[in-house]
Each structure stands twice: as C-alpha cells, then as structure tokens.
C-alpha cells in the first residue's frame, strides 16, 4: 500500500469526468441510464400536468375549464406522452440500462454506441413532440384511429414522426438487451441462474423488437395517406379503417406488456430481497414472462370487439385473452408464496411491492372482465377501461418503477434515501392512486364514457373523489423527486450492499466504477441464494 | 502487396479492433452478428405491416389489382430482379475476399455491388417516371382506364381500387428503394474503409453484417416482384 497523504478515492462512473461532453457523448450504460432518468422524469411531469388538467376539468359536470377541442388535445397529449415517452421506456431505459450489464457481470451493454444513439432518438422524438405540442398539439387520442387522424386539421404527422423516433429508440434498446443477455453473461451465469429481472427484460425486449416496427410502418402509412391522399385506410378512397386498428393494436396491445413486464422483473427482486428467501418456483416465474410476451401477440383484437368484426374471431380473441391471465396469475401466486415464512422487512421498496401485488391483481382481474365479450360491449370506451389500464400501467409499472428506484438508489447514487419520508410517499401513492382510479371503475360501469369534457351531474361525487385522489397522488410523486435530490448531497453514504441482497449488482461498489467489476465475476450459485446469505438487521439505516 | 493489417495471428488482447467490453474477438464477432440478425427481424416486421395491408386489399379487390398490375413493366421488373440477384453474389464474393485478406478483390466486389445497386435504382426511377406520365400516381391527377378482357369486353373495376394498388405499389417499392439507398451509402463507406485496409481475415464483421442487410433487402424484392408484377399474367 502506498502511503499517500490523502488516500485517492476510487473513481466511479459518476466521478469519471464532470464536463457536459463527458455526459452527452458517454457510452457508459450507467450514465445513459441517468440521462434517461432525467429526461423521462421531465416527460412524466409534463404528462402528469395534462392529467391534472383533465381531472380539474372533470371536477364539475359542466365544461367550464377547457373548451371541448382543447380538452381533446389535452387527453391526447396526456396519453401520447405517458405511453410513448414515459411508460414504454421508463423501466427498461432507466433501470434496465443501469442494471442489465451489472446483473450479468458484463462491462457494458453489447452495443454501447447504439445505446447512446437510442437516447438521442428518444430526445429527438421528445423535442419534436414538444414542438408539435407548443404549436397546437394533436386531438386524435393516443390511439390516432383513422380516418379521423388522416382528416384532423391538427398536425398529426409531426406527432407521428416523434412517436416513430421514440419507437426506434425502444427497438434499439430491446435489441441491445437481447444481444447482451445472449452474449455478455459472466462465466457460469447460465440461463437458469439469471435473475428474474433479466428474464423479464428479455421478454420485454422481444415485444419491443417484434411489435414496434409494425407501429412504425403504420405511422408511416397514416403519414403518407395524409400527405399524398393515398387511400390505404380511408374508406372514401377504398381503404379499410379496420386494417389500421388491427395494425395499431398488433403493436399497442403487446406494448402494454412492455409497460408491465419490466416491473414484474423488479417485483421478483424486491420480494426475494425483503423476505430474504429464494423465489418460489423460479422456472415458472421466468417462463411466465416469456409466455406473457408470446400470448401478448395473439390477443390484440380484444380492443375491437365492437367494431363489427367476425363473431368467431372475437370468440377466439376473447379466449386467448383469458389465457394471458394464466402466466400473470402464476407470477402473483409465486410472489405471495415467496413471502410465506420469509423474514419480511417492511422497507419502502417492499411497500411498493405490496402495493404492486394488490393493484396489479385488481387491474388484471378487471382485464378478464374486459376479455369477456358481453361485458366488454357494455363498458367499451367507458371509464371502466380507463380505470383498468391505469391499474395495470400506473398501479403496475409506476409502482414497480418507484419500488425499484428506492431499492437501487443506493447503487445508482451511492447514497441512502430518507426512509421515513419514503414510506410516507409510498402511502400517499397507494392511497392517492386508489382514490383516483377506483371511482372510475364505478363511473365506467354506470356508463360514463371516456374522452368527454362534461358529464351528467349524478356522476359528480365520484369525479370529485377521483380528482381529490389525483392531487394526493401528485404529492406522492413529487416527494421522491425532492428527497432523492436531497439525498444526493445529504443522504448517508451507502455501502456496496445496503440491503444484504443477492445479485451480482450488489457485489460492485456503490456507485459502481465505469467498467462495473474490477474482475469479471465467475458465478457458481443460483439466483436468490438467500439461504446462503446471513440475514442482518435491516431497520432504519444508521446515520454516520 | 499484402495488407498490413492481415497479420497471421490475431491475438485476443492485442487486436486493434477489439472494443473494451468484450473478452475476445470471437465474442465481439458473435455479438455483432446476433445484433444484425435481430435487426433484420425488426426489418421483416416493419415490411410485414405493408405486406399484410397489400395481401388484404389484394384479396378484397382482386380484379382491380390484377388490372393495375398489368400496367407495370414486367421486363424492367425482371431485369431489376436479375440485377439484385447478381449483386447478392458480388456481396458474397466480397465477404469471401475479406476472409482471404484480398484487399483488391474486396474493393472491386464492393464497388461492383454499389454499381449494381445504383443500376437497380436507376431502372426504378425510369419505372416511376413512366407512372407519372401515365397518371398512375395516386392523387388528384390519378387516372385509370378500365381494362378489357380477352373477348374485348370491358372489365368493371373501380378506379379507386386500382389507385389503392398504386398506393401500395409506391409505398412498398418506395420503402424498398429507401433501403437500397441506405445500402448503397453503407457499401460506399465500406469501400473507402476497405481501400484504406481497415479489414483483415481477423476482422471483417462490418462487411459480413452489411452483406446480411443487403441480402435481406434483396429477399424483400424477391417477394415484391411476383406480388406486384405477376398478378394474373397467365395469358
């Protein structure tokens, strides 16, 4: 040991260069994850702003806050931003980017420069979308059904191009993950030893690379139809608008699994770490991710039961939609079975995990209602559908993301977050979420249609509840922003493995050095070998 | 004179083209080639949407599609098919030359590939020009004369449906031509790099992967040609 006066602090990925250029031209997957984290958070709050406008308008039965046309634009902006610029990339591009190489003992993703390119594509798409938004926005709804999207006088082409670019960003992310998982695993890390987070991201990536190109070509077709008046979807010119819906949902239904599978991967990590126990039925949880990805491609037409499609086709799609329930239920049962006789710690990430299980179960079961032909006809295009998919996407993906952010924050930042505040915010999120969206199930069942800026007065009580819940939810989302930022400076320094968790990422320093591991690890153990790890007290971290 | 980079042994650690996050050249090569194959999968899905739209409308409006297809120049289409098939051969020979470390041959085959690609695009431009002149381009000026059957009787087809055929014709061949343009650009860059001696028997992955891309674009044309040009040509 050299006896220098000041022991040199080992550089980590955060201290390896401080210039703006060192961030904007980085190929380090961890830095790219941070770039994504910042940009995606901005879009989340922008989408949230539009959500608040919707909720405020619906506070009263009259259309008093926004004119009808503006309301159309507001819910379109909310949907497009949240789906294409937040929900799809949020977990893969932030946590996946950060963790996939760490979890498999690699120095980086397979294609670091393509990884950076995909961030730039995201930013290019995002800026284009902002430009479109500031110049009047779009009023097609996030589903941009034809023939309306080819006839509307708002600038759909620009918004479509923005989504196209964001789509290629996620194609490249998915491609990068699949190749990385195939080719970059550390010696000894066989497929049956992979963390379930990796399996979930593998399944997500499959959906990304198989589904996204289809929405890309669909957007191109709508754009050329608008530009050159081709008659591909316009019935006036011989086209078929149903074809658009088929192509659209061929991507957009699997895409809802992009918006839940990654969080399911997070769940498996959280549940095992905080019950200090091996996952129950590893193979089933792993393969159910793949099964969800595969089944997900076979059910798209359940969004189209009322379009007059063939009844026999509808029955097949209904049946297949029920099948998706099987692997989803396997996951929920296996997580709860993992809890059984585990030594459970109620840390914040675990609270989010519990929230996820409850909300996902409600979201999933109401999904079965909607897969049922008769009920679907009754509640199509009502708030029942809105509530259902928010339970999956917000109750699922966002709860999972927040749980994961708390869990891996010490790894990402090298600091611990304040546990008390974090628990409080988890409570706010859970209560606020349910108060916002549970009334919407009832509203929808009573017949309140989605996408209307006014409604009959008898629906007001439930709408007021929903708006109140949205306000609580907003506080719950703002709090982590504040205390995460606070902890960067004032949080206690985190050790390499503050949760005493299994997984290769906890064997790297916190924050990890640029190339993750000084020496490529050799894996000789199964994932979640918690029976080989001494449990330790995981109560509130001690200030030091 | 032999290529300076084509050393007899490419040791894993010392190879100048080995990137930091790979253990050895073999891992790097396998990784790149898997990445390329997956990219081709996304391309197939991308074109898949177009093919799906085409097949559905062809099924719905078969007479109009057949009549519209008759106006395409089958000779030019066949010529272009041959050009692309030959260009696939030159790509394979280029990869072979790279494996052998034969820089002159490599450059020659790459140049040949680019020229064949440009030939294809040139012929395509002639075909497009003809469509403009006969008002077969969808839009306000679109015009389609009702065709006659073997007995000289007019076949009742809706010009709207013929217009749909041409919409899809331009969308599909246009998207394919865009891929050809990208391919020509790609191969031009590779030619320059190959000229500078960038590739060796130990490192020719970019040539191989660009070749895969080129083959895929060829295969797409192999499907486009019969689908668009050869509808009811049985007389």
How much is the pLDDT for A542? 47
| Nearest CA distance, A43 vs chain B (angstrom) | 27
Query: Between B56, B138, B158, which is nearest A230 by CB?
Result: B138
CA distance B105 to chain A (A): 30
The predicted structure's pLDDT at residue A537: 58
Which of B30, B60, B163 lies at the smallest CB-CB distance from A231?
B163
Rounded CA separation A369/A385 (Å): 10
DSSP state of A61: S
- For the cut 80, the answer to whether the pLDDT of residue B76 exceeds it is yes
Of A137, A151, A45, A29, the C-alpha closest to A93 is A29
Q: Do B20 and A107 touch (CB under 8 A)?
A: yes
* Residue in chain B lying closest to A220 (CA): B171
Q: From B56, which residue of chain A is nearest by alpha-carbon distance?
A: A243
Mean pLDDT of B80-106: 96
Query: How do residues A214-266 score in pLDDT, each as one tens digit?
Result: 999 999 999 988 888 778 898 887 888 999 999 999 999 999 999 999 999 99
Angle between helices A460-490 and A399-413 (to 10 degrees): 10
Asked if A111 lies within 8 A of B35 by C-beta distance, the reply is: yes
Choose between B25 and A400: higher pLDDT: A400
How far is Cα B197 from Cα A493, in angstroms, rounded to an integer? Answer: 51
Chain A residues in contact with chain B using a Cβ-Cβ cutoff of 8 Å? 106-108, 110-112, 114, 171, 175-176, 178-179, 182-184, 209-214, 216-218, 220-221, 224, 228-232, 237-240, 243, 247, 250, 515, 520
SS (H, E, C) chain B: CCCCCCCCCCCCCCCCCCCCCCCCHHHHHHHHHHHHHHHHHHHHHHHHHHHHHHHHHHHHCHHHHHHHHHCCCHHHHHHHHHHHHHHHHHHHHHHHHHHHCCHHHHHHHHHHHHHHHHHHHHHHHHHHHHHHHCCCCCCCCCCCCCCECCCCCECCCCHHHHHHHHHHHHHHHHHHHHHHHHHHHHHHHHHHHHHCCCCECCECHHHHHHHHHHHHHHHHHHHHHHHHHCCCCCC
In this predicted structure, the answer to whether residue B11 has a pLDDT above a threshold of 70 is no
Q: What is the pLDDT of residue B20?
A: 85
Chain B contact probe: residue of A150, A183, A224, A300 with most B CBs at under 10 A: A183
Contacts of A4 (CB under 8 A, 6+ apart): none
For residue A68, give the 3-state DSSP assignment.
helix
pLDDT digits (tens, 9 = 90+) for A271-325: 999 999 999 999 999 999 999 999 999 999 999 999 988 999 999 999 999 999 9
Return the pLDDT at A465. 97
Write phi, then psi, for A233 (nearest 5 degrees): -115, -10
Q: What is the mean pLDDT of residues B92-108?
A: 95
Closest CA to A267 of A94, A474, A436, A95: A95
Residue closest to A265 by CA, chosen among A44, A103, A476: A103
Residue B200 phi, psi dihedral angles, 5° rounding: -150, 170
pLDDT over 70 (residue B83): yes
Nearest CA in chain B to A237: B160
B23 CB neighbours in chain A (<8 A) are 520
Record: contact B31-A212, CB cut-off 8 A: no
* Closest residue on chain B to A232 (Cα): B164
What b/e readout covers B41-67, taking b as 16+ CB neighbours within 10 angstroms? bbbebbbbbbbbbbeebbeebebbbbb
CA A421 – CA B146 distance, rounded (Å): 75
Residue B12 is predicted with a pLDDT of 45
Q: With beta carbons less than 8 A apart as the criterion, state whether A200 and A269 touch.
A: no
Q: Do B164 and A232 touch (CB under 8 A)?
A: yes
Which residues of B are less than 8 Å from A230 in CB distance? 138, 163-164, 167, 170-171
The burial of A6, by beta-carbon neighbours within 10 Å (0-12 exposed, 13-18 middle, 19 or more buried), is given as exposed
**Is the pLDDT score of B6 beyond 60?**
no
Q: Shortest CB distance from A110 goes to which of B35, B170, B175?
A: B35
CA distance A100 to A14: 18
Answer whether the bond into residue A147 is a cis peptide, omega within 30°: yes
Rounded CA-CA distance B223/B55 in Å is 12
**Which residues in chain B are closer than 8 Å to A182, comparing Cβ atoms?**
34
User: Which residues on chain B are in Cβ contact (under 8 Å) with A114?
Assistant: 35
Q: In this complex, is the C-beta atom of B50 within 8 Å of any C-beta atom belonging to chain A? A: yes
Residue A483 and residue A417: Cα distance in Å, rounded?
7
- A379 prior amide bond cis, ω within 30: no
pLDDT (0 to 100) of residue B148: 75
| Mean pLDDT for the stretch of residues B57-61 | 91
Is residue B138 within 8 angstroms of chain A, CB to CB? yes
Confidence of residue B14 (pLDDT cuts 50, 70, 90): low
**pTM for the whole thing?**
0.93
Burial label for A124, CB within 10 Å (0-12, 13-18, 19+), is: middle
Q: Do A217 and B30 touch (CB under 8 A)?
A: no
Strand ranges, E, within A175-270: none
Contact B56 A228 (CB under 8 A): no
B1/A178: higher pLDDT: A178
| d(C-alpha A321, C-alpha A301), whole Å | 9
* B36 interaction partners in chain A (CB closer than 8 Å): none
Q: Give the span between the Cα atoms of A187 and A40, in whole angstroms.
A: 34
Alpha helices in A240-307 (DSSP H): 241-258, 261-275, 282-296
ipTM: 0.89
CA angle A163, A86, A299 (to 5 degrees): 70
Q: Which residue ranges in chain A fall short of pLDDT 70?
A: 1-9, 536-544
CA pair distance A526, A532, nearest whole angstrom: 10
Nearest to A112 among B21, B27, B158 (CB): B21
Residues 77-116 of B with CB under 8 A from A: none
pLDDT at B4: 38
Residue B14 CA to residue B5 CA, distance in Å, equals 12
User: Nearest Cα to A115, choosing from A23, A232, A29?
Assistant: A29
Between chains, do A231 and B138 touch, taking CB under 8 Å as contact? yes
Contact yes or no for A209 and B41 at CB 8 A: yes
Give residue B234's pLDDT band: very low, low, confident or very high (50, 70, 90): low
- Nearest Cβ partner for B167 among A175, A179, A231: A231
Q: How far apart are the first and last CA of chain B?
A: 58
Shortest CA gap A165–chain B (Å): 14
Q: Cα separations (Å) of A41 from A35, A86, A121, A481, B194?
A: 10, 8, 17, 9, 44
Q: What is the pLDDT of residues B136-162, one digit of tens each?
A: 988 788 888 877 777 777 777 888 888
Q: Considering only alpha carbons, which residue of chain B is nearest residue A520?
A: B23
The SS3 assignment for A415 reads strand
């Amino acid at each position: 040991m050299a006896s220098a006066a000041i022991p040199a602090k080992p550089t980590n990925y955060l201290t390896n260069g401080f210039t703006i250029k060192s961030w904007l031209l980085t190929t380090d997957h961890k830095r790219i994850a941070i770039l994504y984290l910042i940009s995606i958070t901005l879009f989340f709050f922008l989408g949230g702003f539009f959500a608040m406008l919707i909720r405020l308008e619906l506070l009263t039965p009259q259309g008093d806050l926004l004119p009808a046309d503006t309301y159309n634009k507001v819910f379109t902006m909310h949907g497009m931003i949240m789906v294409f610029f937040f929900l799809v990339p949020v977990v893969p591009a932030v946590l996946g980017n950060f963790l996939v190489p760490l979890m498999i003992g690699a120095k980086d993703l397979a294609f670091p420069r393509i990884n950076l390119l995909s961030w730039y594509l995201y930013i290019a798409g995002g800026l284009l979308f902002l430009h479109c938004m500031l110049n009047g926005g779009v009023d097609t709804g996030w589903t941009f059904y034809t023939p309306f999207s080819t006839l509307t006088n708002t600038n759909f082409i620009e918004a479509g191009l923005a989504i196209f670019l964001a789509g290629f960003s996620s194609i490249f992310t998915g491609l990068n993950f699949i190749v990385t998982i195939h080719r970059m695993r550390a010696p000894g890390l066989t497929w049956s030893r992979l963390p379930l987070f990796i399996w979930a991201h593998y399944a997500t990536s499959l959906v990304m690379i198989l589904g996204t190109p289809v929405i890309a070509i669909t957007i191109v077709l709508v754009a050329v139809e608008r530009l050159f008046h081709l008659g591909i979807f316009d019935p006036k010119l011989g086209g078929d608008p149903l074809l658009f819906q088929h192509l659209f949902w061929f991507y957009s239904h699997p895409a809802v699994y992009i918006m839940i599978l990654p969080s399911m991967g997070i769940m498996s990590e959280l549940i095992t770490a905080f019950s200090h126990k091996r996952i129950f039925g590893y193979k089933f949880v792993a393969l159910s991710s793949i099964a969800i990805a595969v089944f997900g491609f076979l059910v798209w037409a359940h969004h189209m039961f009322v379009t007059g499609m063939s009844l026999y086709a509808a029955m097949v799609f209904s049946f297949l939609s029920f099948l998706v329930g099987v692997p989803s239920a396997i996951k929920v049962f296996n997580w709860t079975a993992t809890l059984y006789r585990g030594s459970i710690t109620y840390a914040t990430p675990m609270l989010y995990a519990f929230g996820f299980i409850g909300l996902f179960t409600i979201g999933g079961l109401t999904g079965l209602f909607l897969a049922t032909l008769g009920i679907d006809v009754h509640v199509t295009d009502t708030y029942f559908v809105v509530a259902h998919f928010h339970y999956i996407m917000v109750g699922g993906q966002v709860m999972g993301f927040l749980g994961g952010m708390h869990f891996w924050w010490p790894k990402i930042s090298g600091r611990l977050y304040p546990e008390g505040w974090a628990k409080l915010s988890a409570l706010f999120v859970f209560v606020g979420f349910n108060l916002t969206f549970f009334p919407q199930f009832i509203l929808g069942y009573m017949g309140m249609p989605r996408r209307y800026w006014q409604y009959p007065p008898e629906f007001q009580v439930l709408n007021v509840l929903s708006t109140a819940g949205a306000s609580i939810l907003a506080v719950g989302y703002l709090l982590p922003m504040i205390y995460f930022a606070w902890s960067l400076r004032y949080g206690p320094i985190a050790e390499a493995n503050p949760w005493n968790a299994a997984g290769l990422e906890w064997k790297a320093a916190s924050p990890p050095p640029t190339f993750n591991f000084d020496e490529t690890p050799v894996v000789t153990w199964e994932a979640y070998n918690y029976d080989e790890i001494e449990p330790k007290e995981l109560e509130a971290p001690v200030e030091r | 004179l032999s290529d300076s980079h084509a050393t007899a042994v490419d040791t894993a650690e010392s190879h100048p083209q080995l990137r930091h996050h790979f253990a050895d050249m073999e891992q790097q090569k396998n990784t790149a080639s898997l990445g390329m194959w997956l990219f081709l999968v996304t391309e197939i899905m991308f074109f898949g949407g177009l093919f799906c739209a085409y097949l559905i409308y062809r099924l719905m409006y078969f007479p109009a599609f057949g009549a519209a297809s008759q106006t395409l120049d089958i000779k030019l289409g066949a010529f272009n098919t041959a050009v692309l098939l030959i260009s696939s051969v030159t790509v394979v020979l280029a990869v072979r030359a790279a494996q052998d470390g034969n820089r002159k041959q490599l450059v020659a085959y790459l140049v040949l590939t680019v020229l064949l690609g440009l030939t294809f695009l040139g012929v395509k431009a002639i075909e497009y020009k003809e469509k403009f002149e006969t008002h077969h381009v969808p839009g306000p000026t679109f015009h389609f004369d009702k065709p006659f059957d073997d007995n000289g009787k007019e076949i009742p087809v809706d010009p709207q449906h013929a217009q749909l055929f041409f919409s899809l014709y331009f969308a599909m061949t246009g998207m394919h031509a865009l891929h050809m343009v990208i391919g020509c650009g790609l191969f031009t860059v590779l030619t320059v790099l190959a000229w500078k001696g960038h590739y060796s028997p130990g490192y020719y992955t970019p040539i191989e992967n660009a070749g895969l891309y080129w083959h895929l674009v060829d295969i797409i044309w192999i499907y486009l040609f019969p689908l668009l040009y050869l509808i009811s040509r049985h007389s």
